[in-house]
Structure formats: structure tokens, C-alpha cells
Amino acid sequence: MAKIILGSAAALTAALAAAAVAGHHLKVSGKWGHAESLASDGGSKLKMLISYVDNLPSGDEKGLFYALDLGGTNFRALRVELGGKEKGVVNVDSEEVSIPPHLMTGSSHDLFDFIATSLAKFVSSEPEEFRPLPGRKRELGFTFSFPVRQTSISSGTLIKWSKGFSIEDVVGEDIVGELTKSLERVGLDMCVTALINDAVGTVAKARFSNKDVIAGVILGTGTNAAYIENVNAIPKWHGLLPKSGEMVINMEWGNFCSSDLPLTEYDRALDEASLNPGEQIFEKIISGMYLGDIVRRVLLKMAEKADFFGDIVPDKLRIPFILRTPDMSAMHHDTSSDLRVVGKKLRDVLEIENTSLKMRKIVVELCDIVSVRGARLAAAGIFGILRKLGRDTVKAGEEQKSVIALDGGLFEHYMKFRTCMENTLKELLGDEAAETIGVEHSNDGSGIGAALLAASQSQYLGVENS
């Protein structure tokens, strides 16, 4: 038993050590593929998609703007009142709506008509002063968290569905066009001025109040990053140069893969059993969807090969994703002398009774190894962005501050993960450069961030509200 346990721990410890080496190697070699993918589509595993967001919120925006956040079996409608530099975000009203299961596999007409009808109900109760001036439409930022080939700031064709949706008649079609037709059918004067994802929205939300923000990172169920790039550094951009000289790049970094990534047998097994084998490898070793299941897979091997939990392998241990990352986090943060939280989680989630303190300590150590590896690799990803922008070093005579905005439940709630990630970033940067880099939490980029981009992209900019 001890041999197998030590072997499992050694494999993960080796992966942890490899994560440190990988972070250093990626730091030295720069093998993130930024340049290749900015030069042409398909240049590397990083898609580096042009978001068409070249005009970020300045903080001066005023008025009433809307957001639609569609990314799963529910969607949110938001109404955001902006008061400019003095007042910022004045008020946010929101409503969450569940999508009936039959609409997730029906027709695009039915799905978007349902969404449009819900939006119409959301605005129908607004007081008179919230209604747009004659001749104007309400403006909406649309966060659509499915694979899209963006064609402009307010249009993009659906590549494929995920998360239980399967509506074939809209694949390859303009998502905004489909929503617009439904808005017209229900008689709602509302237009989409920005089509985004949550990483781009996080940049916008944070930039509204902090001009030092240069990137947004999502560390939640999934993971992604977006950053602000000089448009002259984007060879594949063939449009007119924006006045700002900048463009937000949607990295889609969850799909990053490299021989430098420290994959174990547990990672490979998880990937092979997934719905998208060979894809989203980086996401599968650092994000909240998967960390808990990696722990489960190691515990299962220890139970099968070393009788870690006794003569019988607990049936629940064989169920994929039964051990969620919040459960892992709770065990990892257990500070009680007898690790009673660990014991309770093993009992309640996996139906494993009568665990000894020694067993519980091993489980905590396992949680630590898996989370530290993920946190160190996330830090390496952030460092890659800073290096691409030349902000990983301090230049003589320059005073610059760079802020990375982060959102997502993993970053917000898994404090040991967050602390390790921040410490690793400082380690990669060195003391001097680390003083110029800030990390801040910026929540609800998919909601408020989308409304802010609707404001910054407004067709009525510069037009008096009277």
C-alpha cells in the first residue's frame, strides 16, 4: 500500500516540479505562440482571436445600457445605469431566466424568440425616464459564451454549440443577426452594439475604473484570457487602423498545449474520457471544472492498487466529476486539528466512512499538489502576456503600472490557489518588476462588462441626450 501511495504522490510531485520548470522554460523560451497566431489564423494552438474591441470604456460613459449574458442553461438580462467619472456605475438591475430544455435542441427561431420575449418583459416595467429618446434604440452588449468566428464588433458566426445545446440550423450563421430578427418580431427597439465573451468583458469592466488594466483572465469553471495589443503588432489585422491604435485580443488560452506542460497519467485519462479529447489541455489542468476530478482519479488509483480506503473500492469514487473543486477547496482549507471537514467531505460526497487522520492528511496533501500545479501554470500564462507586451521588466526612466484583472470562482473562492498564483507570478517577475504589476478582482465582466462595451461602442456617442 505504501509503495503505491508513494508512487502516486511522487507522480504528482514530479508534475508539480515540472510545472515550476515549465513556467521557467516558458519564461525563457516564450513558447506561447502569441506571435504565430497574431500573424495568421492557425499559427499555433493559441487562437489569438481579434475581438474588434478597439474602443474600451473610458469612464466618461453616461446613460442606460443593457447586457445579455448567454452561456449555459440560464441567461441573464441586465440594465446598467452609468453616471460618468463622478458616479461610475450608478445602478444595476438584473434578471435570470432558465431556458426550457426543449429550446436547447429545437430551432434557432424558437430559442431567440424566447430570449427576445424575455428581454421585452424585462424592459416593459421600466419607468418613463428609462425609455430611449424618439428615433433611438436601446443598446445591448451580448456575451455569448460559445465558439464564434467574430466578423465585426457586433457580428459573429457560430462555429459549434456546447453545454447541452444542439441547434443545427444556426451553426455557421450570424448569432447577432438571429437575435436581431427575434427582437424585431417581438417589437423591441433594441440593437446589439457589442458581441463579446467573458474574458473581453472582464477587460472592459476593469478598464472602466482603472486605466492601468492591460489584461483580463478568467479562472473559474473554465479559463481564458484577453489582453490589449498594439494593432501594429497584429499582422493578420487587415482593416482600417483604429484611432486608439489598440485592439483587445481574445487568446482562447484554454486550448494551449505544449510539450512543456507537465501532464500525468491522470490528466491523460481525463482528457481521453472528455467530450473534446486533445483539446483545451491547458484548461483541463488549471480550471475549476477539472481540478476536483484529478484528485478523484488519484484517490481511485490509490483505492484500487493500495487498498487506501480498505478492501472495497468505494463505488462513488468511480463516478466522474462527483468530487467537485469546491469540495477539494474545502478539504484543502481545513484547519481543524482532526481535519473534520476532510472526513465529512469524504463521507458525504464519496460515502467513505471511518477515515483516519493519516488518511485525511494524505488527501489534503494531494489537494495541495494538484492546486499548486494549476496555480503555478496559471501564473506562467499571465507572465506570458506580460512578456509579450514587454512589461515583465522595468525599463530605466519609465514609470509604468500594469494591472491584470481576474474573475471566476476559482480565483475568487479558492484562496490557496489564488495566493500560490500571485506568489508564483512575483517569483517569475523578480522583486523589481513585481512592484509594477498589480492583480485585482473584477467581477461580472460578462454582465456589467458587456453593458460597458455597449456604451463605449454606442452609435450615439457624441450626440447630446437632449
- In 3D space, the residue among 66, 79, 72, 130 whose CA is nearest the CA of residue 97 turns out to be 72
Contact yes or no for 261/281 (Cβ under 8 A): yes
As given in the structure block, the three cell numbers for residue 110 are 424558437
3-state secondary structure of 81: strand
State the catalytic residues.
76, 145, 198
As given in the structure block, the three cell numbers for residue 16 are 508539480
- In 3D space, the residue among 44, 50, 95 whose CA is nearest the CA of residue 250 turns out to be 50
Contact yes or no for 213/403 (Cβ under 8 A): yes
Q: How many CB atoms lie within 10 A of CB 322?
A: 15
Q: How many CB atoms lie within 10 A of CB 278?
A: 10
Contact yes or no for 405/442 (Cβ under 8 A): yes
- Rounded to whole angstroms, how far apart are CA atoms 215 and 248? 9
Q: 432: buried, middle or exposed (CB in 10 Å: 19+, 13-18, 0-12)?
A: exposed
Q: How many CB atoms lie within 10 A of CB 155?
A: 17
Contact yes or no for 440/206 (Cβ under 8 A): yes
- Rounded to whole angstroms, how far apart are CA atoms 67 and 449? 8
Length of the chain: 466
Buried b (16+ CB within 10 A) or exposed e, 107-137: ebeebbbbbbbbbbebbeeeeeeeeeeeeee
Angle at 34 between CA 31 and CA 37, to 5 degrees: 120
- Show the DSSP H helices in 233-290 as ranges: 265-273, 281-286
- In 3D space, the residue among 158, 178, 177, 153 whose CA is nearest the CA of residue 168 turns out to be 158
